[in-house]
Chains A and B, each alone.
Chain A
Amino acid sequence: GAGVSQSPSNKVTEKGKDVELRCDPISGHTALYWYRQSLGQGLEFLIYFQGNSAPDKSGLPSDRFSAERTGGSVSTLTIQRTQQEDSAVYLCASSSSVDEQFFGPGTRLTVL
């Protein structure tokens, strides 16, 4: 009965480096979401996967951000050429219904 897991829990990187953030959704959940939360801000929707459908990329802040979901399960969010404004907590959520989402513990990204 594991929940959503994310790794790493914390990531410190230098400006300009690429980073990969991983999300393992709850088994059987067909929908997977990525959000980010900057300090003192609300949650910002990034991208959404539903089953094998093409993802909704409308929320990605720039072309430096991309995400994949392999085999309808694990997802990776990649940020290329990181900038200081990318520093935030990146949250992943999964759901089996279209309403309630279960969140992972998040990855705190710090770009120096």
Chain B
Amino acid sequence: EDKVVQSPLSLVVHEGDTVTLNCSYEVTNFRSLLWYKQEKKAPTFLFMLTSSGIEKKSGRLSSILDKKELFSILNITATQTGDSAIYLCAVWVQGAQKLVFGQGTRLTINP
């Protein structure tokens, strides 16, 4: 069974801290891994990763994929209260044509 596991499930930090969110996966036929931010209802796209070792970066957010060890991390530096959200990791399963999501990490940034 295809599976995506995120950790931690919940994280509370102070504004300005750096956080690392983890995503590990076991799927039959990996195509790509995606990170989303979900603040209210609709997730918004952050990154798509297909190759190992290549860091994707957008402002204070960055992500990297390790296809050998089957995991990805999402880093957020100099966190702000606006970063508070649920961060979702999903893996696209080639052939099955579906995204398998992890449970999400609920990140809370306290001022």
Residues of A within 8 A of B (CB): 4, 33, 35, 41-45, 48, 50, 56, 58-59, 89, 91, 98-106, 108
Contacts and interface: CB of A to CB of B under 8 A. Distances in A.
Contacts of A89: 41
Nearest to B45: A100
Name the prevailing secondary structure of the B interface residues. Answer: strand
A102 B65 CA distance: 22
B102 to A, nearest CB: 6
Contacts of A103: 36, 42-44
A91 B101 CA distance: 13
Contacts of B98: 33, 45, 48, 56, 59
Contact of B48 (A33, A45, A58, A99): A99
Q: Sorted from nearest, which 5 A-B pairs have the closest CB atoms?
A: A106-B41, A43-B101, A103-B42, A42-B103, A42-B101
B39 to A, nearest CB: 11
A50 B98 CA distance: 11
A33 B97 CA distance: 10
Nearest to B100: A45
Interface residues of B, number: 23
A103 to B, nearest CB: 4
Contacts of B31: 98-99
Contacts of A101: 34, 45, 99
A35 to B, nearest CB: 8
A33 B88 contact: no
A89 B44 CA distance: 16
B101 to A, nearest CB: 4
Contacts of A42: 88, 101-104
A19 B106 CA distance: 30
